[in-house]
Amino acid sequence: MLLLIISGASGYTLIEGWSFFDSLYMTVITLTTVGFQEVNTLSGNGRFFTIFLILLGGSFAIYAAGVIVQFVVEGEIRSILGRKRLENSIKKISNHTILCGYGRIGSIVCKSLIQKKIPVVVIEKNAELTEILDSKKIPNISDDSTNERALSFAGIEKASNLIAALGTDTDNVFLVLTARQMNPDLFIVARCSYQSSRQKLFAAGANLVESPYELGAARIAMRIERPTVTDFLDSALASENERIQMEEIPVEKGSYMCKKTLMESGLRKEYNLMVISIKKHNGTMLFNPSFDAVIEANDTMIVIGEDIMLEKLRKALMPQTSKTKFYK
């Protein structure tokens, strides 16, 4: 556009012999189609040049408008197509975890779930946070978590877990109550900020209620009371530590280890893993189980060892689940 204005002013100066300022003025009122008044009477050549300048300026304006419209439309189309692909991926997910809230607590929870290859769908109404989720290609829904429509779209009927990590206890109580009505079998973990809200969340239908402040305070105290134990747990539980990790792995009915003792299973010999505990299907916890403890379907093994061996054991204990994309 600047080049067009300079060319027009130079043309009037050469053709009509006007001053540069008069030529510039004439060029601007011509290109902007103001047509206020001519500086001086135009010659025949000046009129032809004005016609050419008007056509050229009009063509440039049309082209510029087309580029802008194309940019906006293509951006909208990409956004719509991207959102459509995201919606289709959400529809295909089942046995997943719905995370409501992607704030300070929710974002950390989401990162941990993804690192463990647990399918997750996030519901967040903050536009800036949903943009972050989109950039990370994390399935998300931009809506209010307490809205039944949002929960239904997140596949609450097919979900296994729901985490209520909204900013206020009031919102979390309402969310838990709504989610429990929509899926009575859902395992719900709720965040609470105040001790007085704990019983309300349990009454609303939460299976587990956690306070990040209480957990943080207990962890700080443990650093002082049992620093070595804390260091060990940090090393075993930290997702960044690829060598040694502690995991819980459920036992499926199709596992070849079902109805075998720990000695017969070869956990120590073949997998080089240490069994910390076995949670039996009836809820009983066997700490430091003996070699003749029997592994049964629906038990949960709590083991510690190298990440590669843990993944190998997961495939042995969960032959059906490990066939899905989440455990490949």
pLDDT above 50 (res 142): yes
Statement: residue 82 has pLDDT above 60: no
Residue-level pLDDT at 37: 64
Residue among 62, 63, 70, 22 at smallest CA distance from 46 = 22
Contacts of 201 by beta carbon, 8 Å cutoff, 6+ apart: 164, 169, 172, 173, 176, 190, 192, 209
Nearest to 151 by CA among 192, 194, 183, 185: 183
Q: Which residues contact 86 (CB under 8 A, 6 or more apart)?
A: 134, 139, 140
Per-residue pLDDT, averaged over 159-188, amounts to 95
156 closest CA partner among 183, 181, 118:
183
244-327: CATH number: 3.30.70.1450
| Domain edges within the chain | 2-85, 93-215, 244-327
Q: Taking 50 as the threshold, does the pLDDT of residue 205 lie above it?
A: yes
The pLDDT > 90 percentage for the chain reads 38
Q: What is the pLDDT of residue 76?
A: 58
Q: Tens digit of pLDDT for each residue in 116-126?
A: 888 999 999 99
**Number of neighbouring beta carbons within 10 Å of residue 296:** 17
- Asked if the model's pLDDT at residue 40 lies above 80, the reply is no
Taking the C-alpha atoms of residue 311 and residue 308, their distance in angstroms, rounded to an integer, is 5
Q: For 242, phi and psi rounded to 5 degrees?
A: -85, -15
Is 327 a residue whose pLDDT tops 50? no
Report how far residue 190's alpha carbon sits from residue 211's, in angstroms, rounded to the nearest whole number. Answer: 9
pLDDT at 204: 94
Q: Which CATH superfamily is domain 93-215 in?
A: NAD(P)-binding Rossmann-like Domain (3.40.50.720)
For residue 50, pLDDT over 70 is answered with yes
Please compute the mean of the pLDDT values over residues 125-149 and round it to a whole number.
90
The least confident of 98-102, 259-263, 323-327 is: 323-327
Of 74 and 171, the one with more pLDDT: 171
- The answer for residues whose C-beta is within 8 angstroms of residue 212's C-beta and 6 or more apart is 105, 191
- CATH architecture type of domain 2-85: Orthogonal Bundle (1.10)
Q: Which residues of 215-246 are buried (b: 16+ CB within 10 A; e: fewer)?
A: eeeeeeeeeeeeeeebeeeeeeeeeeeeebbb
Tokens of 295: 């592994």
The overall average pLDDT reported for the chain is 84
Tens-digit pLDDT profile for residues 280-312: 988 899 998 988 999 999 999 999 888 888 889
Name which of 34-48, 58-72, 75-89, 225-239 the model is least confident about.
75-89
- Does residue 318 sit in helix, strand or coil? coil
- Cα distances (Å, whole numbers) of residue 218 to 212, 215, 226: 10, 5, 11
CB 99 within 8 A of CB 113: yes
Say what the pLDDT of residue 129 is.
93
CB within 8 A of 309, min separation 6: which ones? Answer: 271, 272, 273
What tokens appear for 73 in the block? 């439309």
Q: How far is Cα 102 from Cα 105, in angstroms, rounded to an integer?
A: 7
Residue 35 binned pLDDT confidence (cut-offs 50, 70, 90): low
* pLDDT of 188 over the 90 cut: yes
| pLDDT value, residue 238 | 63
Which of 214-228, 239-253, 293-307 shows the lowest mean pLDDT across its residues? 239-253
Instruction: Pick the most confident of 42-46, 105-109, 135-139.
Output: 105-109
Judge whether residue 245 has pLDDT over 90: no
